[in-house]
Amino acid sequence: MNPAGAAAPDQSKGTLRVVQLYPRDMNIYGDWGNALVLKRRIAWHGYTPELLEYNVGDPFPEGVDIIVGGGGQDSGQLVIQDDLQARAGVLTDLAEDGTPMLLICGLYQLFGRFFKTRTGAVIPGIGVLDVETHGGDERLIGNVKVASPEFGEVLGYENHSGQTTLGSGVRPLGTTAKGTGNNSNDGHEGARYRNIVASYLHGSLLPKNPAIADFLIRTAAERRFGSFIPGNPDDSFAVLAREHAARRPR
């Protein structure tokens, strides 16, 4: 291992390709950090990370192992909407095939059926997730703690006007112990479908929630290589970040 904790290329267990969707337009509250965590943890596990960006108009990469998508202002969502529709087929195929994906806030909404903004504009989604979102008058802002049956306590920060309702085709990521989550009514946060983790939580999410990062990496390695051989990630900063985040008031 070199000082950064990455395996030398000749010792690598293989390459995992991470594609970040629309980082130019959909990347707020440090969502970029999710891609950086995946890059570092993939290396810590002894694999070679390859991090690619996909922006409006780009050719869509081949051989995708993990997809991450961030949040954005309503205006950013309007910018990407046509391109996203043009990519609905490939993204739906990847999702249905079991590609692990992390979708935060604005892209969580647009992997659903639609986002109707506060001003009445309807931004169509690609319908991979059985959810719909209606912009409300109240912005839901603050620190969030979620109890997740799969990932334990999930910590993050929310800031959205969208109120998302889940259909029967998805299950929630968890229930909110602090904060609002999907909407003001049902106490649910995020959505799970196949190997997709969708959430309103920024912060960014993965530095404070390595269990979710490792779920994405393990799933990607199993799909690509037939098995996942874990390494020894350094979780000391994640532990500190979690302690700090958990103490923050709403």
Pairing mode, strands 48-54 and 66-69: unpaired
What lies within 8 Å, CB to CB, of 40 at 6+ separation is 4, 5, 49
* Residue choice 48, 92, 161, 165 for contact with ligand GLN (CB under 6 A): 161
CA contacts within 13 A on the Cβ side of 205: 32
- CB 71 → ligand GLN: shortest distance, Å? 3
Closer residue to ligand GLN (CB): 13 or 188: 188
Residues 15-54 that bind ligand GLN (CB under 6 A): 28
* Residue choice 85, 92, 159, 165 for contact with ligand GLN (CB under 6 A): 159
Q: If you compute the radius of gyration of the chain from its CA atoms, what whole number of angstroms results?
A: 17
Per-residue binder mask for ligand GLN (CB under 6 A), 62-81, x = binder = ---------xxxx--x----
Closer residue to ligand GLN (CB): 81 or 195: 81
106 binds ligand GLN (CB under 6 A): yes
Q: Which stretch binds ligand GLN (CB under 6 A): 147-155, 159-167, 214-222, 241-249?
A: 159-167
Q: Which residues are catalytic?
A: 105, 202
* Residue choice 105, 129, 217, 245 for contact with ligand GLN (CB under 6 A): 105
Number of residues binding to ligand GLN, judged by CB under 6 A: 12
188 binds ligand GLN (CB under 6 A): no
CB-based closest residue to ligand GLN: 71
- CB 74 → ligand GLN: shortest distance, Å? 4
Tokens representing residue 84 in the block: 């996203």
Closer residue to ligand GLN (CB): 93 or 250: 250
Closer residue to ligand GLN (CB): 66 or 123: 123
- Cα distances (Å, whole numbers) of residue 236 to 168, 231, 232, 239: 38, 15, 12, 5
Closer residue to ligand GLN (CB): 73 or 184: 73
Residues 195-234 that bind ligand GLN (CB under 6 A): none
Binding site for ligand GLN (CB under 6 A): 28, 71-74, 77, 105-106, 159-162
